[in-house]
Structure 1
Amino acid sequence: MRYTHGVVRADGSLSEKVFEEWLPSKPEIRYTSDRVALATERDACHSAGEAADAENESVRCWLLGDVYGYEDGGHGCPRGYEPRPADIDPAQYCLSLYERTGFEFLEGLNGNYTLLLYDRERQRFALCTDRFGTVPVYWTRADDGSIVFSTNVQLLPFHPAVDTAYHPAYLHEYLAFRCTFGVKTPLEGVEKLEPGTITSIALGDGSLRTEQYWRPQYRPRDESFEWFVEEFADRFRTVVDEWTHDGHEYGVLLSGGSDSRLVLSVLENATAFHMNDWMNREARIAERVALQAGATFELLERGPEYRIGSLERNRWAESFNGWFSQPYTSGFESRITEQVDGLLSGLYSDSLFGGYSVPSPNVSLGPLGSMTVPIERPIETVDEYIDLLLERAHDNLDMPTDLRTVLESNIHRDGDRIVHHGVTYESLEDLVYYGSCYPLSNDDDMRFHTDLRRMLPYRSPFLDNRLLDLSLSMPPRYRLRRDLVGQAVTRLDPDLAAIPHASTGVSLSRSFPVEYAGEHFLEFWRKHVTNRTPPKPYLTDGPWLDDAELLRSFEFTNDVLDQRGHLADAFPGPDADAIRELYHTHCHDEDRVGELYTLLTVLTMPVTEYLTDVPESNRAETIDLLSRQSQVIDVE
């Protein structure tokens, strides 16, 4: 894993040894002045070095992530988009824009990044996040008055001047939702930077100021669905064409569905990486797609050992967003990086263009199961939104806080706007449609997204500003009762679209009613008609194994509790005996995967061991031990 860390101290008393007591491993790149110190590994950021500062020696900048281009405009001028030239270092590119416009350029900057700017002349250090906060930075004000920040929230408590503990309310939220909302984290006094903001630290007095330059505003366009398909397909192809370059090898994380198939439809000579536990229906569909597209098919076979091994392998995965298993590719890092120079995925397609973010009623069919009806469920009050969240929660744990009370304390109106855990939305409608992915850390796949970004140059095209803008103009009825992505694949590569979707059994080119009926018929057939069974109870015909059966088939829950159960006894949540009882309940056919996986994630985090089980006298020894345990292991 590669991380970036910093300390800002207004009184000018930073020393060159500022990182030696804090970080468990020696960073490759350091920058230290008497007020600002930054440490990072080389691949984690692009630094505009001294040569890049030549035109303005008072400014230095670092870019975590990447920028793709800039949309100019304002002052009555028409807006025009220009991709960043491939031969210009992205940090130098940002520095030149800052020198021209100050912070105004951020409104038109397109990328997935957090930008750090040290302006000596103006005596300020600024942390600037992109529109959706796709590169999270965690920060706190330490006991000595300094601002300490890191891209790894688990490392902040190791700083000698940071005093923190688990916050019962936000730990409860993480255990219930497997994510923490807005700027909050389960660590007291530790927050994330807000998305679309400039957080400036005045180096004269240490004061902190946050300015919002962007937030999502839903403005539906009165256009036909065919217009959206054409516009979406054109923008998507443009985004991928701009990011990929001749002479580079690219990979796609390919499923049997439509999102990644869309990526493959606009690439040539790609490698299609498909993760699965055996060569099931999903894998066979993915292989057909790869062969049709002329791509190399690479099966990354996991199996139960891979899943169980991720408890240890991913324990340093930094965010309280998702489970230990969700850096899905972490065990295949060398296999991927040895074959390709860059990687693309279809992540966040459904959140931005599908029905996931539009509330819909769920109808019970009795013994046949249930189904989601593709009509919008109106959410007209904050209380109704909180009810919606609670319906999705795993809240069967004995906690010292009440989940509804926690949500009501953190989601409220501020005039016409809504504040959700420190992040402001222009309207309740904006919150309902985009609260699941704005900021991106509200989505529990943030762990996967971050792990991919750290592994090699990586991009999800759906997070490009041009596609985000299109999402903000798309009527909900098209999300719920049309398949934008499937129709875009049909437009771009009809032969790929003709291959059935693994979850529906029908081609992407078919109408939405046919897809909808196919999905539910296939689910009914699997549950109630066919007698075909996978070779192991935890294997499925889909992209993921059955975690409920995995927990019943292997004793890794008890193994974790034998080793780390005493940690559960020390933090504000269920103790080891309660977790064992929960596991016992699960093994007797009550599904408790949500609660158990989130608890196992917390128990295996280094920060939990450090906060609950480490005497101050053993601090240095523990840092060294956890550092040696943080190596990423590849599974071949």
Structure 2
Amino acid sequence: MCGIVGAFNKKIDRKVLDLIKHRGPDDTGWFEHKNAILGHVRLSIQDVSEMAHQPFLSKDGNTVMVFNGEIYNHWEIRKGLEEKGVTFKSTSDTETVLEGYLMYGTQVFEMLNGIFALCIYDLITEKAVLVRDRFGVKPLYYSFVDNEFQFSSELKALEFDSNELDYGAIANYIKFLWSPGKGTPSKQIKKMLPGEYCTISNNNGVISTESKFIQTNKFDGTRHLATEDELVDSLDALLVQAVQRQLLSDVPVGFFLSGGLDSSLLVAIARKLRPSEDIQCFTIDTTTFAKSEGFSNDLDYARIVADHLGVKLEVVSSDVDIAKDFDSMIWHLDEPQADPAPLNVLNISKRAAEMGFKVLIGGAGGDDVFSGYRRHQMLKYEAKISKIPQFILNITGGFASLLKPSTPNKRRVKKLLGTLRKPKKDRLFTYFDWLDWRTVKSLFKADAKEKLDKLDEYSFFRSKVNEIPKEHNSLNQMLHLEMSSFLVDHNFNYTDKMGMAAGVEIRVPFLDNDLVDFSYKIPPEFKLKNNVTKYILKKVAERYLPMEVIYRSKAGFGAPVRKWITEDLSALVESRLSRENIEKFNIFDYAQVNALVESNKKGDIDASYSIWAILAIDSWVRQFSKGRIN
């Protein structure tokens, strides 16, 4: 796992590698050719020798590549290439990908089962191709302004005009707590979408680009014609295959073990595959605040699983000095995400690195692929809700304003009632909301609000549903949205960035190509059955884990945000959301922001996460866009 940077028609200094050095503390590399520059920082995991140094040159010296990621089926691809007469100088997956590209062209991207972001440059034609893996596990940012193209694993390594802000994306960080799709706070910097690849051409000094997508299986309305037992057998085999693939490493591999279903099942499968080896797991202790934030205590279950499987468990404290660590967290995230979970990932990753583990395997994606969120359970009521006249739904939804969000259950009921006021065509999307669009827009200054008035708050989600026109089941439509947005732009962003901040690669077996392709065709009634989330996955887990672990209540991987906003961060809220500072940054309307803060203090609304988002945006602008402060 590594970090990459590059530019075409733009001069960048090698010192830019210092900004992403945490991603690859083992080695650095730099390559220049005419108007092309490629840079690399390396975390050595497969073939740790100098033979795998990057930028990686082809044997004839005509093609060069920078690569961030892991290809779990690279030995299978390599075998096919060797049968065609290709020889190799290293055992790295980097060389396998490069030789595969030279043999198959961009079709090789469809063959790759792994997590990656990479750039391949042809010195003869002066053309390059930039690609991100099909599920967006690895980040990739780019900018194409004034005939200058630049890219990087992290936004912080790119140059941009600090006055060009994307208010639509900034509003998304408040509305959803993350921004779906290409948008970032900078209008000039975009995210490559999952599975997207971009061809970059230099024609007499004029840069042109063309984007396409890796051909992947998606929801198409077809279903596996198999019994429940047959589906469980097939899913079990695919999970074992996925874990086996992702154990590929020349350095020690550890595991996240939260005590939840997903991470516990992966550890159990690893134990099956390696019955006599030591397996090191890591968990976080959230005992002090779990109840108040609506989470169950994971630690007890993590210990049960560790004892059951005979694995080592390192318990990591969740203690942080949030006022001190807040800006650092936003810096590493590259985006103003409003979620404290990244701090837990960072703490575990730091401890893993201290103990000599460069690789951790985690359960991210299980909820998104197999249906594990509470919002999925609400979809079963959609058919009945759709038959109720809208004016009655509006009246019922109006009661949401009367409910004080003083407990986790009241907060959930209040949010559910609020969704009833949305028209049917939008209700599928409202489950991602943290703040309604009207309130979000009111927080901005007049000229920004005017721009937001012209936007469709759910445009990205609509485009994603339109990608699967043959899929009419609402649960599968929701899962497609999860995998295309929440999983990519929220979970994977902080998982990658916080792991790499400590020099640790985090792998996600639930996003194995074959496993996900199989999941698309699992009948929805086996994903959510009798209100049991991840039903089919739990049936597999019954072969590996105690029932009390499998059928425990849903937990979260969070932190005491509400306490932090009203207590630990109160001084930060007061200073950074003061009239003076808000007017200095010239993004938000002070009166509206202050009203939100005061209503939250009184307990009239549950806006702690929204206030966290505003603080995160403020922090992002301070650190990434310093020119905006006079």
TM band (smaller chain): 0.7 to 0.9
1:533-592, CA deviations, whole angstroms, 9 ceiling, x for partnerless residues? xxxxxxxx97544422332333x1432541575553355643455434322221211211
1:390 aligns with 2:430: yes
1:450 aligns with 2:465: no
Q: CA deviation at 1:224?
A: 2.1
Structure 1 counterpart of 2:171: 172
Contact 2:29 2:55 in 1 (8 A): no
Q: CA deviation at 1:345?
A: 0.7
> Residue 142 of structure 2 aligns to a residue in which SS?
strand
Cα distance in 2 between the residues matched to 1:236 and 1:62: 30
Structure 2 counterpart of 1:152: 154
Aligned Cα root-mean-square deviation (Å): 3.9
Cα distance in 2 between the residues matched to 1:87 and 1:234: 31
Cα distance in 1 between the residues matched to 2:621 and 2:180: 22
Contact 1:323 1:601 in 2 (8 A): yes
Contact 2:564 2:570 in 1 (8 A): no
Q: CA deviation at 1:92?
A: 0.2
Contact 1:154 1:607 in 2 (8 A): no
1:69 aligns with 2:73: yes
1:297 aligns with 2:349: no
> Residue 317 of structure 1 aligns to a residue in which SS?
helix
Contact 1:199 1:208 in 2 (8 A): yes
Q: CA deviation at 1:485?
A: 2.4
Letter in 2 for 1:58: N
Contact 1:180 1:321 in 2 (8 A): no
Structure 2 counterpart of 1:239: 242
Structure 1 counterpart of 2:526: 478
Contact 1:386 1:408 in 2 (8 A): no
Contact 2:20 2:154 in 1 (8 A): no
1:428-455, CA deviations, whole angstroms, 9 ceiling, x for partnerless residues? 7575431222256654223332135523
TM-score, normalization by structure 2: 0.75
C-alpha change, 1:386 and 1:26, in structure 2 (3 Å) is closer
Structure 1 counterpart of 2:210: 209
C-alpha change, 1:223 and 1:596, in structure 2 (3 Å) is same
Cα distance in 2 between the residues matched to 1:603 and 1:258: 36
Cα distance in 1 between the residues matched to 2:553 and 2:333: 36
> Residue 463 of structure 2 aligns to a residue in which SS?
strand
Cα distance in 1 between the residues matched to 2:602 and 2:337: 25
Q: How does 1:266-415 map to 2 (within 5 A)?
A: 266-268=269-271, 269-278=278-287, 281-303=297-319, 305-320=320-335, 322-323=337-338, 325-327=340-342, 328-339=344-355, 340-356=357-373, 358=376, 359-361=379-381, 369=409, 384-393=424-433, 394-395=435-436, 396-397=439-440, 398=442, 399=444, 400=449, 406-407=455-456, 410-411=459-460
C-alpha change, 1:249 and 1:408, in structure 2 (3 Å) is closer
Cα distance in 2 between the residues matched to 1:567 and 1:474: 52
Residue identity (%): 17
1:419 aligns with 2:463: yes
> Residue 480 of structure 1 aligns to a residue in which SS?
coil
Q: CA deviation at 1:383?
A: 7.3
Structure 1 counterpart of 2:83: none
Letter in 2 for 1:173: N
Cα distance in 1 between the residues matched to 2:152 and 2:192: 11
Contact 1:116 1:127 in 2 (8 A): yes
Structure 2 counterpart of 1:189: 188
1:585 aligns with 2:599: yes
Q: CA deviation at 1:38?
A: 2.0
C-alpha change, 1:260 and 1:332, in structure 2 (3 Å) is closer
Structure 2 counterpart of 1:19: 13
Cα distance in 2 between the residues matched to 1:86 and 1:453: 30
Contact 1:169 1:401 in 2 (8 A): no
* Alignment equivalent of 2:139, drawn from 136, 139, 146: 136
TM-score, normalization by structure 1: 0.75
> Residue 198 of structure 2 aligns to a residue in which SS?
strand
Cα distance in 2 between the residues matched to 1:321 and 1:470: 34
Cα distance in 1 between the residues matched to 2:620 and 2:308: 42
Letter in 2 for 1:202: S
Structure 1 counterpart of 2:389: none
1:75-118, CA deviations, whole angstroms, 9 ceiling, x for partnerless residues? xx9xxxxxxx9972111010111121111111121111012100
C-alpha change, 1:141 and 1:322, in structure 2 (3 Å) is same
* Alignment equivalent of 2:130, drawn from 124, 127, 130: 127
Cα distance in 1 between the residues matched to 2:261 and 2:610: 30
Cα distance in 1 between the residues matched to 2:122 and 2:114: 22
Q: CA deviation at 1:32?
A: 1.6
Q: CA deviation at 1:49?
A: 5.2
Q: CA deviation at 1:265?
A: 0.3
C-alpha change, 1:609 and 1:579, in structure 2 (3 Å) is farther
> Residue 114 of structure 1 aligns to a residue in which SS?
strand
C-alpha change, 1:57 and 1:439, in structure 2 (3 Å) is farther
* Structure 2 gap segments, 5+ residues each: 22-27, 81-87, 272-277, 291-296, 386-395, 414-418
> Residue 278 of structure 1 aligns to a residue in which SS?
coil
Cα distance in 2 between the residues matched to 1:409 and 1:23: 36
Which structure dedicates a bigger proportion of its chain to helix?
Answer: 2
Structure 2 counterpart of 1:626: none
Cα distance in 2 between the residues matched to 1:50 and 1:442: 27
Cα distance in 2 between the residues matched to 1:173 and 1:231: 39
C-alpha change, 1:489 and 1:403, in structure 2 (3 Å) is farther
Contact 1:250 1:344 in 2 (8 A): yes
Structure 1 counterpart of 2:25: none
